[in-house]
Amino acid sequence: MKKTAFLFPGQGSQRVGMGHDFYQEYDLVREIFDMAEEITRINLSRLCFKGPMEALTATVNLQPAVTAVNLACLAAIEKEGIKSQFCAGHSLGEYSALCSAGCITREDTIKLVFQRAALMHREATKHQGAMQAIVGLPIEAVERIVAEEQEKGIVSIANHNTELQVVITGSPDSVNQVASRAAEKGAKSIALKVSGAWHSDLIKDAEDEFNSYLQTVSFSPPESSLIFNVTADISEDPVEIQSIMARQLCSPVKWYASMLRLIEAQVEVFVEVGPGRVLSGILKKILPENYQGAVYNVDSVKQLERFFHDNT
């Protein structure tokens, strides 16, 4: 088997219909949805398969819904006997990566994201927030603008996705001011449809409470190399991993650096495991032009068959 990395998407990858054909095809997938619905008391299968989109995208529904689909796609891949040597997940997707690496159980994965979603929703209702993608400036240039604007209000880096795509987060006025100043330097800004300022100090009040909840979950050493959002590095220590995940809520997602680590490790096959093509689209912008690697999406039975055909 070629050196393979599983990449798990987070918020923003959802679509009505996601996971439906796996649900019809695999008993194990139906069991995953049943388990997730028992924990959350949300009819996730109906939301995922039939919507409506407005209800699906509500944070308290969306986080367990996307995670259930990620785990469903992963279960279908693993049933075919395919394992990965590396994994990573983007923000919410990192919990699916923890499960993929054997750090936490499926049940604990759903419990954690459900609690995370509830706390994030609570903080978003207390503090109005905004996020914008800044395209066209390197991270250092955006950091300089953010540092200057932080003296006036709450704003920070949420995600560093590609070399020239940085997402900022914080209070609406401060985010708009950073975006305006970035535009003066030739950047383009795109407002994101979010209900809160994720990965910012505006949701800081959730961090200690979530950390306490994390302590109730048993973490195991990862069975594959898991690259974390907060550090863009690997950890094998369960205690350190718990600490990293507590910090993840308000820390920047170092996705660009994480993908560079996989490139440095000479990963040959990248698989986006879950709905959508967000992460594979980002990855294609990062991979060097002559890089010898293949990129796959697996969020349907047909895509799984293609991936299995090419890699076995």
How many other CB atoms are there within 10 angstroms of residue 102's CB atom?
13
Residue 12 backbone dihedrals phi, psi, to 5 degrees: 105, -15
Beta bridge pairs of residue 181 = none
* Sheet of strand 86-89, all strands in order from the earlier edge strand to the far edge: 225-226, 86-89, 4-8, 269-273, 294-298
How many other CB atoms are there within 10 angstroms of residue 182's CB atom?
23
98 phi-psi bin (left φ>0, alpha ψ -120 to 50, beta other): alpha
Tokens of 303: 């895509």
Q: Angle formed by the axes of helices 278-286 and 255-264, to 10°?
A: 60
Marked catalytic residue, from 45, 84, 91, 225: 91
Is 20 among the catalytic positions?
Answer: no
Is 199 among the catalytic positions?
Answer: yes
Name the helix (H) or strand (E) containing 168. strand 165-170
Residues serving a catalytic function are 91, 199
